[in-house]
Structure 1
Amino acid sequence: MATRTPSRSAPDARSLLLAAAFVALVNVVGGLPGVLFGPDTAWFRALEKPAFYPPGIAFPIVWTTLFTLLGVALWLVWRRDAPGRRLALGLFAAQMAVNVAWTPAFFGLEAPLLGLLVIVTLWVLVVATFAAFRRVDRRAAALLVPYLAWVTFAAALNFELWRLNG
C-alpha cells in the first residue's frame, strides 16, 4: 500500500491524517458501548463500591486518553512493513472486540462475574498485543503500557464489585 512506510521515517500530511482517523475510529468503537450501556442505572447505583472506586468523571477521561493512545499505536503498527505485523493487527482487533464486549456484559446484563471473565480475557489479549506490537514497533508497544495498567486496575475493580455484591 502506498500509505504504509517500511521505516520510521517522518510521516507526511496524508499519513498524519490517517493517524487521526485511526484515533477517531478507536475512540468511536471503544466509546459506543458506554453510550448504549452506561453506569447510569438504578442497578449500578445500588451496588456497593470498593473504597478505591474512582469518581465517575475519571472513566470518560481515562478511556478517551487510552483509546487515543491505542489509535496512535495501531497506526504505528499499521504503517510498518515488518514481520509480525499481521499478527499484531489481528491481536489488536481481538482485544478491541473483547474490550467492547465488557460493557454490555457488565452493565447490559448486570453481570459482574461475566464482566470479570471478559476483563480477564481482555487482560491476556492486551499482554499478547503488547508483545506482538513490541516486535513490530517498540513505540507502539510503549503506548499500550497505560492501557495494560488501567485494564489491570479495572479488573481489580470488577473483582471487588463482584465480591462485594455477589
Structure 2
Amino acid sequence: MRLQGAIFVLLPHLGPILVWLFTRDHMSGWCEGPRMLSWCPFYKVLLLVQTAIYSVVGYASYLVWKDLGGGLGWPLALPLGLYAVQLTISWTVLVLFFTVHNPGLALLHLLLLYGLVVSTALIWHPINKLAALLLLPYLAWLTVTSALTYHLWRDSLCPVHQPQPTEKSD
C-alpha cells in the first residue's frame, strides 16, 4: 500500500479527532449513570470498534480510488463524492450526539447515513467487490449505534422508559 493508501485509511479518523478536540469539555458523562443501557458496550469497546471500522472503510475507499485510476477526475466524482458526503454525515452525528446532546436529530442523521452507506456499497460493487463488502461491517456498526441512539432518544421523550435508580435497602 502506497502513501495514498495510508492517507485514505487515516482520513476517516480526522473528523472524530477534530470533534473530540473542539468538544471534549461537553462530552464527559453524558451517557453514563442511569442513562447507560445495560446492553451498551463499554466506551473503550465502542472506540476500538469505531477505529477499526473507520480504517476498513478508508481502505475500501482507497481500493475504489485505485481501481478508477487514482488521481482526480470525473470517474471518481460519484463513488468518492458519495463517500465524502457519507463521511461528513458520520462526523455530524458525533457532534449532534455528544455535543448538542440531541439523540433524536442524531438518529435521523444515522438513518440517512445508513442509506448513504448502502448506496455507496451499490455504487462501489461494480468497481471493486471487496470495497463494497468492506462496507458491511460499517452497516452492522450503524445498526448498533442506531439502536443505542434510538433507546436514548425514546428514554428522553418517555420518562416511563428511563431507567430508575435502584433503592438501597438498609
Aligned with 1:71 (options 54, 58, 68): 58
Q: Does 1:29 align with 2:15?
A: yes
Per-residue CA deviations over 1:57-105 (Å, capped at 9, x if unaligned) read 1122011101110111010001112896431111101110100000111
Aligned with 1:56 (options 43, 64, 68): 43
Q: Counterparts of 1:43 and 1:29 in 2: how far apart (Å)?
A: 20
Measured at CA, do residues 143 and 94 of structure 1 come closer, stay the same or move farther in structure 2, by a change above 3 Å?
Answer: same
Deviation at 1:30, TM superposition (A): 4.1
Q: Counterparts of 1:149 and 1:141 in 2: how far apart (Å)?
A: 14
Q: Counterparts of 1:29 and 1:48 in 2: how far apart (Å)?
A: 26
Q: Kindly indicate whether the alpha-carbon contact (under 8 Å) linking 1:30 and 1:67 is maintained by their aligned counterparts in 2.
A: no
Q: If you compute each CA radius of gyration, which structure gives the higher value, 1 or 2?
A: 2
Report the equivalent of 1:143. Answer: 134
Measured at CA, do residues 132 and 30 of structure 1 come closer, stay the same or move farther in structure 2, by a change above 3 Å?
Answer: farther
Unaligned runs of 5+ in 2: 158-170
Q: Counterparts of 1:140 and 1:57 in 2: how far apart (Å)?
A: 27
Q: Counterparts of 1:48 and 1:40 in 2: how far apart (Å)?
A: 14
Unaligned runs of 5+ in 1: 1-14
Q: Counterparts of 1:152 and 1:119 in 2: how far apart (Å)?
A: 9
Q: Kindly indicate whether the alpha-carbon contact (under 8 Å) linking 1:47 and 1:165 is maintained by their aligned counterparts in 2.
A: no
Q: Counterparts of 1:69 and 1:147 in 2: how far apart (Å)?
A: 9
Q: Counterparts of 2:20 and 2:49 in 1: how far apart (Å)?
A: 13
Deviation at 1:35, TM superposition (A): 4.0
Report the equivalent of 1:16. Answer: 2
Which amino acid in 2 is paired with 1:29? G
Q: Counterparts of 2:46 and 2:11 in 1: how far apart (Å)?
A: 19
SS of 1:54's equivalent in the other structure is: coil
Aligned with 2:148 (options 141, 149, 157): 157
Deviation at 1:47, TM superposition (A): 5.3
TM-score by length of 2: 0.80
Per-residue CA deviations over 1:14-59 (Å, capped at 9, x if unaligned) read x522101111222223443244335843443355222211111112
Q: Counterparts of 1:107 and 1:30 in 2: how far apart (Å)?
A: 11
TM-score by length of 1: 0.82
Q: Kindly indicate whether the alpha-carbon contact (under 8 Å) linking 2:16 and 2:94 is maintained by their aligned counterparts in 1.
A: no
Q: Does 1:134 align with 2:125?
A: yes
Q: Counterparts of 2:64 and 2:16 in 1: how far apart (Å)?
A: 19
**TM-align CA RMSD:** 2.1
SS of 1:99's equivalent in the other structure is: helix
